[in-house]
Structure 1
């Protein structure tokens, strides 16, 4: 059985590692003002985009989760014909709809995947598991890297799932940003009070 890994672009792993291990990435659009950048873990494009907006605080900034249809298309086009079992790991569902959208997409492919597998010459059913990583950035990357290590070691799918389930509560990601302006502004827009005004000012001053 061939096992594959799918993550969203919030998973902080080098592109070389992603490409070398055939990890599928769900791109996440980022909008600053009127410009939209689709984050697919391309470091050069990311640097160019952020450099253009590094000191620009006149525009709103936000991310948009990939839709159910976009994730469904990704799975049908790149996962169903390549893998027998796909493990999908997302950012926390408390922070983004990506987990829910990926779950809905996993259900949505059930009626369509067989003909895709037949065309790819793959036999047997396609199985998929969507899990909430409960962490962000490097924390999510740790879970993904361990998943890849287990896959390459030939670990059984049940044991992989158990190992990642055990590791998830102990994987934590921290982000150190030079300016909390956008973090505070977006949190306020979403009603998230975890980043207060005073905290944002103090963090930016450090």
Structure 2
């Protein structure tokens, strides 16, 4: 069994390599330049170095098309695995989930001939899972899938568990630039961040803490200043860690140099809470797609827990 994710799911490169996870890429076009967002460091570092996340609200993103998903599977994955779970960011925010579901019909129709020609016996199975979250918020589902595959669990049990975890994933985002975020939201007809919020944020340095839960995104708190917002978010996550998580991981992604995380207020406390409770603190670079949509320097955080109030 194997895993495939879309590039907007934020997990670390080391985790991808350790578990042999395939990435369905997203094409990003900025200022006449094209980037392949596949979570590999090369294009990601080139994007960050040119600071395109600070001025790219006119950028265009193109999720992996149906034909490319089919090619990835029929050229590679159906020959390497007997069952693949495809995990995507929430279908309410991206068409990638619909693309993968559409591609699955042709894949399941044509895989037999491909496997027979390669001398690979037996059937092939694929399951598409909507993580119902974005960016770092998708990480707990991916981590749980990897754990269950490594444990040799049956595909039906894995699917049932992943659907449950997806229903209990909380993804949080702290943006640096509300005007940038609003410009991108307006371009995508997304009214999660209003003009009034952007104006107040600029005038008073008020930052919203945004949450994605079960596919719905909106503000759950506001703080004065980015550092105070980071401290509030990390303190909240530390409390959730101590109260118990459904999957023993907290993923934090950052739109830039990951070394910045250790400089943010509250991060040391989150690291300490994770160490105390045997929870992995995964640090991941935000995808190019993520930075295009929310701006460089943003923080996202994902965890899975029983339903609760945010408490900001």
Distance in 1 between the 2:97 and 2:200 partners? Answer: 32
Partner of 1:5: 3
Cα shift at 1:178: 2.1
Distance in 2 between the 1:203 and 1:43 partners? Answer: 32
Distance in 1 between the 2:68 and 2:195 partners? Answer: 36
Secondary structure at the aligned position of 1:117 is classed as helix
Is residue 2:76 matched to residue 1:78? yes
Cα shift at 1:172: 1.6
Distance in 2 between the 1:128 and 1:55 partners? Answer: 35
Partner of 2:132: 134
After alignment, is 18-27 or 34-43 more displaced? 34-43
Task: Kindly indicate whether the alpha-carbon contact (under 8 Å) linking 1:137 and 1:174 is maintained by their aligned counterparts in 2.
Answer: no
Partner of 1:162: 160
Partner of 1:172: 170
Give the number of equivalent residue pairs: 204
Unpaired stretches in structure 1, ≥5 consecutive residues: none
Q: Deviations over 1:1-50 (max 9, x none)?
A: xx111100111111121012111100111222212211111234312212
Cα 1:120–1:173 change in 2 (3 A) is farther
Is residue 2:33 matched to residue 1:35? yes
Distance in 2 between the 1:89 and 1:15 partners? Answer: 16
Partner of 2:93: 95
Q: How does the TM-score come out when normalised to structure 2?
A: 0.61
Task: Kindly indicate whether the alpha-carbon contact (under 8 Å) linking 2:5 and 2:86 is maintained by their aligned counterparts in 1.
Answer: yes
Task: Kindly indicate whether the alpha-carbon contact (under 8 Å) linking 2:57 and 2:180 is maintained by their aligned counterparts in 1.
Answer: no
Is residue 2:19 matched to residue 1:21? yes
Distance in 2 between the 1:201 and 1:62 partners? Answer: 25
Cα 1:190–1:59 change in 2 (3 A) is closer
Task: Kindly indicate whether the alpha-carbon contact (under 8 Å) linking 2:70 and 2:103 is maintained by their aligned counterparts in 1.
Answer: yes
Distance in 2 between the 1:77 and 1:201 partners? Answer: 50
Pair member with larger Rg:
2
Distance in 2 between the 1:138 and 1:37 partners? Answer: 21
Secondary structure at the aligned position of 2:121 is classed as coil
Which of 104, 107, 128 matches 1:106? 104
Cα shift at 1:61: 2.1
Unpaired stretches in structure 2, ≥5 consecutive residues: 206-224, 226-312
Cα 1:120–1:179 change in 2 (3 A) is farther
Q: How does the TM-score come out when normalised to structure 1?
A: 0.91
Task: Kindly indicate whether the alpha-carbon contact (under 8 Å) linking 2:5 and 2:22 is maintained by their aligned counterparts in 1.
Answer: yes
Task: Kindly indicate whether the alpha-carbon contact (under 8 Å) linking 1:62 and 1:186 is maintained by their aligned counterparts in 2.
Answer: no
Partner of 1:62: 60
Task: Kindly indicate whether the alpha-carbon contact (under 8 Å) linking 1:61 and 1:182 is maintained by their aligned counterparts in 2.
Answer: no
Cα RMSD for the two superposed structures: 1.8
Task: Kindly indicate whether the alpha-carbon contact (under 8 Å) linking 1:69 and 1:105 is maintained by their aligned counterparts in 2.
Answer: yes
Q: Deviations over 1:116-169 (max 9, x none)?
A: 212333211111111211001112111101100010011111111111111111
Secondary structure at the aligned position of 1:188 is classed as helix
Distance in 2 between the 1:115 and 1:153 partners? Answer: 30
Distance in 1 between the 2:38 and 2:55 partners? Answer: 24
